[in-house]
A and B are shown apart, each in its own frame.
Chain A
């Protein structure tokens, strides 16, 4: 198999070249020491061996809070007309690429979301291989996701560069002076045992109804929202509208929601579909691991490990999978 080889010392040139197409963003460390996706000012800022950023790249596609409609008496509701800036998102790990593929199916499926489309079209994805740690369990960190415009796989002294998109093929052609050909054997696919178990659970529709873990989760959960903020595939949002001080115009916006919040299942009159935390955990489990609606049977979990890292009380839904399967009649 022929792939293109980029030497370590050409990385700076690659970044310079990429910067011509848009603002270069990638994993960087904030002044407080948090690893985040953000604008890359210098090559040295880039964290090439970062395990995971606090928030996944979904923030570029579905911002935490976003105006979705403007209202005026004359024009009614109209879509905000600002354009999305071109962004080169560098260093996106396979789990996060899978997360974006999932969001694409949700937001660009049967009824495309025009604001999501606007941001998605303005982003060039440059993937990067990574080393798993004790928190994560993606399908295969060597398996190259198909939605990366460029994918860089760490090898000795450099990277193997490949692409899964037609946009990427054009980019590789433009990069030719930096690349050389290298013949290597395709790497064997490896799948983490946790992900194998997760897929099995989804296939069988297991829900562990009698597990004592549910009560254990519900008792400890602070409903702080970190698990969904940091999840690459949590896309639930709330929609609100605020009138302006002029008394006639208004803004409608959406903001990230979490299924462990009371308001998530609350409807007019104060009735709630999921009045207690235990029911909310069941719901979270169903959506995250078994999928529903058009994505039924598709686990949304990409194994990035963020929810296990960020929970202040150490709740880990995957503990359910270490139990036996549902009791069969």
Chain B
């Protein structure tokens, strides 16, 4: 039986999502038997995008002409294109300042002599190509990655939760940081799947997994503002992993 060919690639990103894959240490031998990792620049020395792929997992935001070229080549050679991680799905940390002037940002980093390199505002994959599936998270959860790879072997794709982090937090009977401590927790508007990783250790949800389906953004803002947290502070927090919230959205 021929093993399905996989591509694992990174665009503008920290490569932490691909590291999640390498961190599946217990499963790597099985995965190596199940799949042919044809294109995986971070993990092996073959660097040419040759042949075709059953699936491509693509990490990172698109922010340079090279990113776009890589993405289009992977898209045209892959049956299933998977946005792998929050940057690929939502824009992520690289996009948090998309509302500011690129010239001013370049100058603040490189000085007055800065020469723009042809890069543009970082954006998620689906702004440029058709995306078949997403694994969100900064970084993504191992179990969601493994469930996706297993599903590919079964010729399907998994169903991930469409509810917010709160339900996993309540299921674990964690202290509600929002109600009990008045902290600006983004759990109610953030996609679950992390099993409330941060609230379970008393750290408020920072929204790293991006918006949940039908997030009631307006109500979350009203509730937190009633607790005395400024709208500016809240928007700054929310923009950290996704720059394009609709602050008036209720459903």
Contacts and interface: CB of A to CB of B under 8 A. Distances in A.
Interface of A: 30, 32-34, 36, 54-55, 64-65, 219-226, 229-230, 240, 242-247, 250, 256, 258, 261-263, 276-277, 310, 312-313
Given A219-B250, A223-B164, A262 B213 contact: yes
Contacts of A33: 175, 180
Contact of B188 (A30, A222, A230, A262): A222
B2 interface: no
Contacts of B30: 245-246
Contacts of A230: 170
B166 interface: yes
A276 B251 contact: yes
A225 B166 CA distance: 7
B160 to A, nearest CB: 9
B163 interface: yes
A276 B174 CA distance: 29
Interface size class of B (residues with CB under 8 A): 35 or more
A221 B219 contact: yes
B167 A224 contact: yes
B31 A245 contact: yes
26 contacts: A30-B175, A34-B173, A219-B219, A220-B216, A221-B219, A222-B166, A222-B219, A226-B170, A229-B167, A229-B170, A242-B150, A243-B151, A243-B153, A245-B27, A245-B30, A247-B150, A247-B154, A250-B154, A258-B163, A261-B163, A262-B214, A263-B162, A277-B251, A310-B179, A312-B176, A312-B178
A262 B213 CA distance: 8
Contacts of B198: none
Given A221-B219, A262-B214, A36 B162 contact: no
Given A243-B153, A243-B156, A225 B164 contact: yes
Given A256-B167, A276-B251, 15 more contacts: A33-B175, A34-B174, A65-B171, A221-B219, A222-B223, A223-B164, A223-B214, A225-B166, A226-B170, A242-B150, A243-B153, A262-B162, A262-B213, A263-B163, A313-B223
A287 B129 CA distance: 44
A223 B59 CA distance: 30
A263 B219 CA distance: 20
Interface in B174-215: 174-176, 178-180, 187-189, 202, 212-214
